[in-house]
Amino acid sequence: MGPFELFDLIGLDISYPVMESIYEQYYQEPRYRPSPIMRQRIAVSLLGRKSGRGFYHYDNGAVVAVPAPAAPQVSVPPIWISQRQPEAHAAVSALLQTLGATLDHGARPSDNALCLVLPLGEDATTSTLAEKLDPSRTIALDPLYLHGHRTLMQTPLTTPAVRDATGACSRVTEPPYRSSTTAPALLPSASWP
């Protein structure tokens, strides 16, 4: 039995005061601090089996399977890629085409395009402002690790819709991982110290 099933069996109305008591008895040792989520769950009567809902759903004391909500369908707008780093632009364009994304090939992004900047030594906001792009629809991609772990960054103003569209694009089946010896160079070797 795991901890959440145990909480549901005992009931949070009983478990939480015990956790608070232990925390106080050990002179507020941080590792014994009860989670504030427990108090919130008590406030809305998610006590466990006795209330029919806790960390699990119950019907006559038996766990009831609750279907997971369907993932929302997110449409991915055309993606405009910054051309400040030409080698990275070519590699990212090839990667996104492999993933099935629609690219915006204009010199400037169209009004509905998701803007993708490729900062080297800058953060997403600095790169966005340097290119005079709309920060609400801009995402940054670290161009150094395209064929392994990819790092996406958003600006403080990036909208949730743009963030979700970026996530939807990244969930498409990816090409197989290539080792660094076969991955295309993202920067000319002369630019490295």
pLDDT band at residue 168 under the 50/70/90 scheme: low
Looking at domain 3-64, its CATH architecture is: Orthogonal Bundle (1.10)
The amino acid occupying position 21 is S
Give the number of C-alpha atoms closer than 13 A to the C-alpha of residue 130, restricted to the C-beta side: 15
**pLDDT tens string 67-115:** 877 766 767 889 999 999 888 899 889 888 888 889 999 999 999 999 9
pLDDT-wise least confident of 43-47, 100-104, 178-182? 178-182
Residue 190 predicted with pLDDT over 50: no
pLDDT band at 169 (very low <50, low <70, confident <90, very high): low
The DSSP 8-state label assigned to residue 40 in this structure reads H
Residue 93, classed as helix, strand or coil, is helix
Counted residue by residue, the chain has a size of 193
Backbone CA torsion sign across 101, 102, 106, 110? negative
Which is nearest to 144 in space by CA: 181, 105, 172, 183? 183
Q: Where are the domains of the chain?
A: 3-64, 79-186
pTM above 0.85, yes or no: no
The pLDDT > 70 percentage for the chain reads: 82
